[in-house]
């Protein structure tokens, strides 16, 4: 773990891998809920870092963090968010070719495992989900689409993402969901929040 100061009011806590970053993020949330953390305006997990922004005394907090021993994630049992998917995306054939499977197998492979929301970004409610085995990673499209429809389930590198609303995008689209990814009237507004466990459920099979 390495703690870097970011400007005058933030800390970037960096780890060797995503697992440790997720465990640390869970520890931050646990301590915050218990009232055992000084005021932090934003807690932003990412690939292997957690940003603590809007901190009054970052150096004092950095010193405290050094003594934390986050509990491993597997000790915690959380509910699973289920996302129903029709695996009928425009890039299914291309993804199948990269994987060396029949196009009809793409959904079975993708829906087989459990995913976790590593972090959000790009757009409100857009989660970067890890859990796809390394051998199934696919590159981004050479030319991004100018409009990817809302509900598109797409792959890029180690990540799976679901577009909360129509936007430009360069990920490989393998399916579509009717799940509401983003609703500002809901608490939380995002269906997929950092740390959440996710399962994709094949529809129409």
Partner 1 sequence: MTDRAFAVVRAGALTTVQDRGRFGHAHLGVPRSGALDPGAAGLANRLVGNSVGAAVLETTLTGCAVRPRCAVTVAVGGAPCPVTVDGRPAAWGAAVRVPAGAVLEVGAAVRGVRSYVAFAGGVAVEPVLGSRSTDLLSGLGPEPLADGAVLPLGRPGAGVPVCDGVPWAGVAGEVVLRVRLGPRDDWFTGRALRTLTTGAYRVSAASNRIGLRTEGPALERAVAGELPSEGMVLGAVQVPPDGRPVVFLADHPTTGGYPVVAVVRERDLARAAQAVPGTRVRFVVAG
Measured CA to CA, the distance from residue 160 to residue 17 in angstroms comes to 18
Cβ of residue 74: shortest distance to partner 1, in angstroms? Answer: 22
CA 64 to chain centre: 27
Residue 86: CB minimum distance to partner 1, A? 25
Phi–psi pair at 59, nearest 5 degrees:
-65, -40
Site for partner 1, residues 58 to 117, rule: CB under 8 A: none
Interface mask (CB under 8 A) for partner 1, residues 172-201, using x and -? Answer: ------------x---xxx--xx-------
Cα dist from 21 to 17, 141, 190, 191, whole Å: 7, 29, 21, 21
Query: Among 115, 105, 101, 92, which Cα is nearest to 200's?
Result: 115
Quote the least distance from Cβ 182 to partner 1, whole Å: 8
Site for partner 1 in 118-137 (CB under 8 A): 119-126, 128
Instruction: Give the binding site for partner 1 (CB under 8 A).
Output: 4-10, 12, 41-51, 53-54, 119-126, 128, 165, 184, 188-190, 193-194
């Amino acid at each position: 773990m390495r703690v870097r100061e970011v400007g005058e009011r933030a800390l970037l806590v960096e780890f060797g891998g995503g697992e440790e970053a997720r465990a640390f993020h869970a520890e931050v949330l646990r301590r915050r809920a218990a009232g055992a953390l000084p005021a932090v305006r934003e807690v932003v997990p990412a690939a292997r870092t957690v940003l603590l922004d809007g901190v009054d005394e970052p150096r004092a907090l950095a010193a405290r963090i050094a003594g934390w021993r986050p509990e491993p994630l597997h000790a915690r049992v959380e509910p699973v968010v289920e996302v129903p998917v029709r695996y009928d995306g425009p890039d299914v054939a291309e993804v199948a070719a990269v994987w060396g499977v029949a196009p009809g197998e793409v959904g079975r492979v993708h829906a087989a495992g459990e995913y976790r929301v590593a972090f959000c970004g790009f757009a409100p409610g857009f989660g970067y989900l890890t859990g796809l085995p390394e051998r199934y990673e696919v590159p981004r499209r050479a030319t991004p689409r100018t409009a990817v429809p809302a509900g598109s389930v797409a792959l890029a590198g180690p990540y799976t993402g679901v577009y909360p609303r129509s936007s430009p995008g360069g990920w490989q689209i393998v399916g579509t969901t009717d799940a509401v990814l983003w609703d500002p009237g809901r608490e939380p507004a995002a269906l997929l929040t950092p740390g959440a466990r996710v399962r994709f459920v094949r529809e129409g099979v």
